[in-house]
């Protein structure tokens, strides 16, 4: 029996990526794709790259006869949607917004869906709060240090994201003529993903209390996040390599590269790559992901695979753009 999946918010970037993944997932049938603004329209009329791949049409109705529901809606809208549209308790829910990521907002019912931190809890979860894209990339760079109790100094983070990270709705800072050949800083020291990063690092190390100095940037490319971080360490370069490789040895999608890394190695995949160097008394870490896949829809499918006992890589054997 295949898993019956429903998607709410299927017209945006994360909804589109969810469709692309699930249409080709061997263990999933898509029961419905809900979009109030596109009800009745062919999915391929909105996501034109899917012409010839599916005859699905957008629905305006939430069906209860499903196994898993993906919420690909805006921040603040997931909680409102579930309040207005009660879902059968037997249905597993994976929310891609930030509404349930923090324990203070969600309590213990929702599990934070970062497999590299919570894989075993995800396997038995009913409700998953999918991590943010910046948060995923940064946490994967810092978790091995936190888990070893070695994040004792403030951390400096500079991370750049592609334009799809801003969502599909147009704005002044996503307009091509502004974004192209441009670079800008936004929400310096105050990005909303800092809260979930802090919670995860505290989970990995109950004594964590170091400052996270995060400078987010808008890049002039479509997809991907590159985060560059540094902090103090007493470990040697060899010890750092071993620490990171040991931590990620059992994780399917996160890999430690001894060579420097670049975004094209991960764009269009669910992979994360991490590179670690020692400079004087500091450890320098670079981590990269595709913001729409490992940073959103790909990670959501990875979580679904874990929740339903499927091979973790199923439906996610994707090819990087490479050049």
- Which of helix, strand or coil describes residue 81? helix
Are 264 and 320 in contact, with CB atoms under 8 Å apart? yes
Q: Distance (Å, rounded) from C-alpha 26 to C-alpha 245? A: 31
Catalytic site includes residue 133: yes
Strand 225-232 and strand 282-289: the pairing is: antiparallel
The residue whose two tokens read 């704005």 is 171
Run of H or E residues at 139: helix 133-147
120: Cβ–Cβ under 8 A, 6 or more apart, which residues? none
Run of H or E residues at 69: strand 68-71
Q: What are the two backbone dihedrals, phi and then psi, of residue 67, each rounded to the nearest 5 degrees?
A: -105, -30
Q: Distance (Å, rounded) from C-alpha 223 to C-alpha 291? A: 6
DSSP code per residue over 226-279: EEEEEEE----HHHHHHHHHHHHTT-SSEEE-SS---GGGTTTSS-EEEEEEEE
* Catalytically annotated residue among 28, 34, 43, 133: 133
Copy the structure tokens of residue 251: 């994780």
Dihedral through CA 263, CA 269, CA 272, CA 275, nearest 10? -40
Are 87 and 62 in contact, with CB atoms under 8 Å apart? yes
By annotation, the residues acting in catalysis are: 133
């Amino acid at each position: 029996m295949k898993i019956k999946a429903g998607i709410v918010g299927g017209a945006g970037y994360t909804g589109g990526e969810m469709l692309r993944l699930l249409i080709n997932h061997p263990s999933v049938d898509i029961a419905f794709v809900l979009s109030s603004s596109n009800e009745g329209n062919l999915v391929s009329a909105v996501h034109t790259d899917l012409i010839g791949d599916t005859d699905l049409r957008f629905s305006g109705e939430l069906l209860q006869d499903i196994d898993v529901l993906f919420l690909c809606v805006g921040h603040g809208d997931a909680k409102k949607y579930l309040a207005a549209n009660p879902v059968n308790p037997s249905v597993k829910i994976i929310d891609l917004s930030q509404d349930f990521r923090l324990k203070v907002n969600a309590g213990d019912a929702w599990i934070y869906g970062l497999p590299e931190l919570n894989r075993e809890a995800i396997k038995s979860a009913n409700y998953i709060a999918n991590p943010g894209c910046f948060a995923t990339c940064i946490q994967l760079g810092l978790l091995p240090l936190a888990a070893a109790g070695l994040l004792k100094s403030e951390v400096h983070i500079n991370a750049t994201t592609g334009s799809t990270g801003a969502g599909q709705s147009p704005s002044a800072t996503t307009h091509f003529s502004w974004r192209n050949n441009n670079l800008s800083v936004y929400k310096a020291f105050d990005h909303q993903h800092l809260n979930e990063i802090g919670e995860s690092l505290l989970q990995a190390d109950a004594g964590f209390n170091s400052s996270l100095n995060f400078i987010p940037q808008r890049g002039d490319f479509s997809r991907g996040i590159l985060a560059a971080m540094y902090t103090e360490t007493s470990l040697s370069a060899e010890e750092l390599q071993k620490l990171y490789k040991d931590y990620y040895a059992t994780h399917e999608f996160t890999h430690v590269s001894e060579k420097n890394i670049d975004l094209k190695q991960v764009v269009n995949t669910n992979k994360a790559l991490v590179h670690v160097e020692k400079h004087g008394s500091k450890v320098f870490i670079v981590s990269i992901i595709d913001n729409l896949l490992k940073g959103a829809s790909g990670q959501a499918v990875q979580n679904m695979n874990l929740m339903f006992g499927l091979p973790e890589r199923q439906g996610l054997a994707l090819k990087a753009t490479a050049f």
